[in-house]
Every structure is written in structure tokens, then in C-alpha cells.
Structure 1
Amino acid sequence: MATVDLFAIGNALIDQEFKVSDTFISEQNLQKGTMQLTDGETQAELYKNLKASQVYKGQASGGSAANTTVAFSALGASAFYACRVGNDDLGTIYLNGLTEAGIQTSIKSISEGVTGTCMVLVSDDSERTMHTYLGITAELSDVQMDFEPLKTAQWLYIEGYLSTSDSARVAVKQARQIARENNVKIALTLSDPAMVQYARTGLDELIDDGVDLLFCNEQEAMMYTETTSVEAALAKLKLLSNEVVITLSAKGAIVSNQEQHFHVQGRKVIAVDTNGAGDAFSGAFLYALNQGENLQTAAQLAILISSEVVSKFGPRLEIAEYANLLETFKKECA
């Protein structure tokens, strides 16, 4: 297995995206702007209702850490993705999509079971609400992971959604240990307010004795630290991570460590779909750091990439778009 820059662990989900009304979200008893876990039967009923009354926008391979890994790889770095899919058509589609994006995977990722799916409901204000049936990815474990690429990677990236899985948390603990033994930096995202609200203990376990880089949005930051301001939340998060990045939606992002603290403005775009925006931000940020860029440059590139994701439906851009945006960014910085 070739050396990679990024070793990421996360859920493997096929997204089904719909344009929906706020009324529909309320009628389905969903909490707008969050991710809700469900079973296959309940999700099938929601899918039936969506197809009958809302606007279908298409299917895409998703999963938070996978979206991050695609952005990282498409910008020009190398990556490995550890996940679990079923031996079904959706599982084949999912892994083929990663391969086409230049991302390494392992045959260990395939097992008996059903590949996870996520209903992504995008309301008129571009906010995404997710209804997720994890399928076989709920049982992601160390059995699906080839840890060899991690030993020579630059970064280990951990998805906060894994906080709900007992077996995944055990696997992450192994990955963290390997990373520390091989001087691999650890990055983690809190992923979603619902994870902070309902899987706080699991998140604590993923963070363990701390990480090198922590990503979250302002709502997650305040919920996790039980504070009422971003500034207070940041002070507590810096006790858990060497560097903290708090995204602020259209307002940009705050980046902070022991030596630096700054705010990067957002870019003005017409928001269409926020699904995957935070993931793309993390991927671009990590890519820039991996290339030796400073935190300011990393944040600016991340803002550019994530703003483009927001302006289109789906959790990812076309692969070629990432490289095109990177060239645009380089010209702006020249």
C-alpha cells in the first residue's frame, strides 16, 4: 500500500436529496438542520412521502468524512478512506465513486449487509436536514480497516458521527494509538449538533486526551462546551485541541491556537444547499496545511471551496472543479 497524506475514518452513506418545504419537515417530526438516525422501515416510509410530494434532486455518494476526503484528494493530495459498505449495488457505487476520485480503499470495507442511506432534505433557506439509516456502517469496526497506510500518513481524520457506534469508537481508539506512535497528526470534526446532544459521551471518547485540530460550527461549539458565546466555547475547546476552527456559515470562520487567533470573512454566494459544506471546508483546510501553507491561507482556501459547495445541490463538486478552484485561488493570492 502506497503512502498517503490523509487516513480518514467515517460512515459510508448514499444520499438521496430532496427540495422540501418547512411544513413537510414539521409534518414528519424532524428537527430542522440536524441529522436523525432511524431504521430502514421508517426511512422507507419517509422516502415514499418525499417522492410523492417533494422535489427529488438526485443521488450522491456521501458520508461526512468521505466528502472531506474527496475534497482533500481532488485538490491534489493522496488519501485512504476506511469505511464499511454492504455487498449490494449501492456499496459498489459508493466504493467506485471513491476510486474514481483517486482515493484508496480496502476490499475489507465490503461485508454482508445493506449499505447505509441518508435522506437529505434541503429547505428553501438552503438548510439541510438529514434522516439516516446507517445500515451496515453502524457496525464499522477495526475488521474493515487496513491500518498500514495510517503508519506513514500525515493526518488521521475522524468523523464525529462515529460517536454513536460502539465498535467504531473502539476502532478509532486503535487508530489514535497508531497515529500517536507514528507522529501522525489527528484531526476531528464534531459533525452535527445532534451528535453533541445525543452522543456526547461518544464524542468525548473519540476526542480522548485531545487532538491536534478540531473542526466544528458555532452551534456545535457552544453546545459541546455548554457555553453561550463562541468566544467562551473557543477557550474551552483549546484545552482539547492544539488548533480549533469554528465555522460561522456565511460569516466565515474563526481559527485559533496558542499563538494565533483570527477571523476569515465568508464569500458572498447564493446558498442552494448546505449539505457537505463543512466537510469540504475541512478537506480544503487540511489540504492546504499538508502543502505547508499557513493557517490564514488554509482558511481562505477552505472558505472558497465550501462556498462553491453551498452554491450547488449535492455534498460534493465535480472532481475537476476542485482543481479549477485551486488555480483560481492561486491567481488571487499571486
Structure 2
Amino acid sequence: MKKYDVTGIGNALVDIEFKVTDQFFTDNEVEKGLMTLVDEDRQNALMKVINAEEAKKQCGGSAANTVIAVSQFGGKSYYSCRVANDEMGHFFMNDMKEAGVDHNLNEDFLEDGVTGKCLVMVTEDAERTMNTFLGITSTYSTKDVNEAAILNSKYLYIEGYLITSDNGKQAMIDAKKIAEENGVKVALTFSDPAMVKYFRKPFDDVIGASVDMLFSNEEEAMIFTGKDNILEAREELKKVAKHFVITQGKNGAMIFDGDTFIDIEPYETTAVDTNGAGDMFAGAFMYGITNGHSYASSGKLASMASSKIVSQFGPRLEWHQTKDILNRLNP
């Protein structure tokens, strides 16, 4: 019996989310709709002009959001990451604990440095724009991978954002090797179209022959495969993933269960903030397939969860909301 449903590895970031207008981007020379890596000075300059009182602060990062979702739906998850011995680092660690996720962080052994932060800027059209300073998480490496946690998990979940550094990429490769050599399934998320566009070859190195589960949106799938339509792209993805999910925003999602494609219909909602929608879909889906649900049922659960997350501000559901979703799935 495995202790964890999912062990995740990824960049530990404190998400600082706030609402802005398009004029904010013009005034501060921010490129809308993208995740942009910035240095600390640039991020500090932006933080000086935001409305800090209205900003929402949570522990985050793509994989962190996903393993928290697994926990909130009733699963058991573990997160391997790096934060510094500063205010944000201690905030991250405590917030992760409150979310019910085990982790590799110990307040007595945190290193000096700066914990990574992600400024998440949300506009009226519900689009999110991210400026990220990685801080100490940019040094995430194989030594931060908890082999024991992986061995005691049903799935290893790898965040695509780690691909941006050589040490992060090597940690992805080494963690995947540990899992595969010990019969633990491996899931990978591309995380962002920019990651696939600029790190296509490194992703090949990480994926190797294949992964057990791949999470992608339509744009990422087409960039990765070099195809200009999703039907051709999904056929190409069969070559690198035994199973995969392609999220399609307001059009739902498609799942390849190893034999056939399953169309997952969306749930009607009014989007106010798309931040974390893909992470939530992955977390709810991973909870489902590791807790006895079929691929179709897991997709339905994930679609419900992601439709709820985009209808509110922030990348995380409340505990009562996850219970309501599970009750709708199993009335």
C-alpha cells in the first residue's frame, strides 16, 4: 500500500495575485498573457506599483497547485521543492502544511537566499499574466528529490517549468529514472506554451521513450508536435505518452486512455480568472485515477473543478467546494 497518491516536483513560488487593467501593462511595459521570468529588481519595481492590500497571497507554483488539489479532494500528496530562510519561505512551508501536503522542507535547515515569487496579474477578460522571479528555486536539483517519497507513491508528477535550468532538467530526468526503475508511474505537464517553444529538445531528453501520463493544452500540443491542428497533434502525442489529457479551455478536454479518445464536456461558467485552471484540472484528474475512478469519471471531475476555479479569484478551491464537487460526481 503506497502512502502517497502523487509526489510532485517543481518550482516553489509564493503567488501574489492581483487585478489590473490593460493600461497597467502599457504603463509598466509588461507583455500580456505570458509567463515571463524576471530578475529580482524588476519584480520589486512591479510590486511597488501594485495594490498590495488587494493582492492575494498563497503558496504556489504549477506542481504545488496540483498536489494541493489532490489533497483537497481527499488524496494524499507530497511535494519536493526549495524555499529560502526568509518570510516568504516560512509562509510557503506553513501554507503547504495547512493544505495537507507533506513536503521536504524543514525550518531548521532552510538556506539563506530569496524565496521565489510569482506576480499573477489578472485582467477583466480573465486572462492571467505572470512575472516570475525564481529565487532559490532556480537551484533546484537532484539532491532535492526525495527518493523515498517517490518510491512510496503511485505517481510522480513533474512540472515542466523545471526545464529552464540545466540542474532542474537533470532533476526531472533523475526523478523519472527513480520512478521507472521502481514501478512508479510518471506524469508530466508541459506547464506553458513558452516552455515547449523554447525548450523543445530538453523536453525530449526528459520524456525519453515515453511518460505514463501527459498534461497539455491545445497550443502546447501543437507546438510540441509541429502540427497545425489538434487532431494530427493528438496522434503524434501517442508516440511519447501512454495516456494524455489535452485541455481545451471553454471547449472542455480530450483524454487518451491508452486505447480510445474520450471527449470531456465543459461545465458552463463565467470566467473571471484563468490562473491555475490547468493545475486544478491535473490535480483533480490525478486524484481520480489514483483513487478508483475511470479516465472518463476523472475527466468529468477535473472539468467540474476547473470550471469552478475559473469562476473565482485565485488558483485554489475551498475545502467545502471540493466536497460539493465530489457529491455532484457521486450523488
Note whether the superposition's TM-score is higher than 0.5.
Answer: yes
Match for residue 66 of structure 1?
64
Deviations along 1:73-122, one digit per CA (max 9) or x if unpaired, are: 11111111000000111111111111111111123683221110011011
Query: Conserved in 2, the CA contact under 8 Å of 1:216 and 1:247?
Result: yes
Equivalence for 1:93:
91
Deviation at 1:314, TM superposition (A): 0.8
Task: Report how far residue 199 of structure 1 moved.
Answer: 2.4
Matched, 1:158 2:161: no
Cα distance in 1 between the residues matched to 2:320 and 2:90: 22
Task: Assess if the C-alpha contact under 8 Å between 2:190 and 2:216 holds in 1.
Answer: yes
Q: Is the 8 A contact 2:93 2:105 kept in 1?
A: no
Q: Tell me the residue number matched to 1:140.
A: 140
Cα distance in 2, alignment partners of residues 58 and 75 from structure 1: 22
Would the aligned equivalents of 1:68 and 1:280 in 2 still touch at CA under 8 Å?
Answer: yes
1:299 aligns with 2:295: no
- Structure 2: how far apart are the matches of 1:291 and 1:87? 36
Q: How far 1:123 sits from its partner (Å)?
A: 1.1
Answer yes or no: is the 8 Å Cα contact 2:4–2:153 preserved in 1.
yes
SS of structure 1 residue aligned to 2:121 = strand
Letter paired with 1:88: D
* Cα displacement (A) at 1:217: 0.7
Query: Comparing 215-224 with 315-324, which one deviates more in the overlay?
Result: 315-324
CA distance in 2, matches of 1:238, 1:275: 28
Of 91-100 and 194-203, the range deviating more from structure 2: 194-203
Structure 1: distance between partners of 2:22 and 2:221 = 25
Which residue of structure 2 aligns with residue 83 of structure 1? 81
- Cα distance in structure 2, aligned partners of 1:29 and 1:235: 39
For 2:164, the aligned partner's letter is T
Aligned to 1:113: 113
TM-score by length of 1: 0.94
Per the alignment, residue 280 of structure 1 pairs with 280
Please say which of residues 173-182 and 319-328 is displaced more in the overlay: 319-328
- Check whether the contact 2:275–2:314 (CA below 8 A) recurs between aligned residues: yes
Q: Given the superposition, is the C-alpha separation of residues 83 and 242 from structure 1 closer, same or farther in structure 2, using an over 3 Å criterion?
A: same
1:269 aligns with 2:269: yes
Are the equivalent residues in 1 in contact too, given 2:244–2:256 (CA < 8 A)? Answer: yes
C-alpha distance in 2, partners of 1:84/1:200?
Answer: 25
Q: Does 1:173 align with 2:166?
A: no
- Separation in 2 of the partners of 1:78 and 1:59? 24
CA deviation map 1:216-264 (0-9, x unaligned): 1111111121211111111111110011211011110011144111211
> Shift in Å at residue 61 of structure 1?
1.5
How do 1:1-334 residues align onto structure 2 when only pairs under 5 Å count?
3-51=3-51, 56-107=54-105, 110-331=110-331
Secondary structure of 1:5 counterpart: strand
Runs (5+) with no aligned partner, structure 1: none
Deviations 1:38-84 (A, max 9, x none): 100011112223339xx943212210000000010111111110000
Paired with 1:263 and 1:61, the residues of 2 have a C-alpha distance of: 32
Deviation at 1:27, TM superposition (A): 4.1
Per mean C-alpha deviation after superposition, the further-off stretch among 154-163 and 25-34 is 25-34
Q: Distance in 1 between matches of 2:292 and 2:304?
A: 18
Identity of aligned residues (%): 42
Q: Structure 2, unaligned stretches of length 5 or more?
A: none
Q: In the alignment, is the contact (CA less than 8 A) between 1:15 and 1:120 conserved in 2?
A: yes
Q: Would the aligned equivalents of 1:67 and 1:315 in 2 still touch at CA under 8 Å?
A: yes
1:204 shift after superposition = 2.4
CA distance in 1, matches of 2:55, 2:115: 20
Q: CA RMSD in A?
A: 1.7
Deviations 1:100-148 (A, max 9, x none): 1111112368322111001101111101110000000011112223210
Give the Cα separation in 1 of the matches to 2:239 and 2:146: 31
Are the equivalent residues in 2 in contact too, given 1:101–1:319 (CA < 8 A)?
no
Q: Which amino acid aligns with 1:99?
A: K
CA contact (8 A) 2:257 2:295 kept: no
Counterpart amino acid of 2:146?
D
Query: Which SS does the other structure have where 1:272 is aligned?
Result: coil
Question: Which one is further off, 202-211 or 190-199?
Answer: 202-211
1:327 to partner: Cα distance? 1.9
Bigger shift: 205-214 or 55-64?
55-64
Decide whether the 8 Å contact of 1:57 with 1:313 is kept in 2.
no
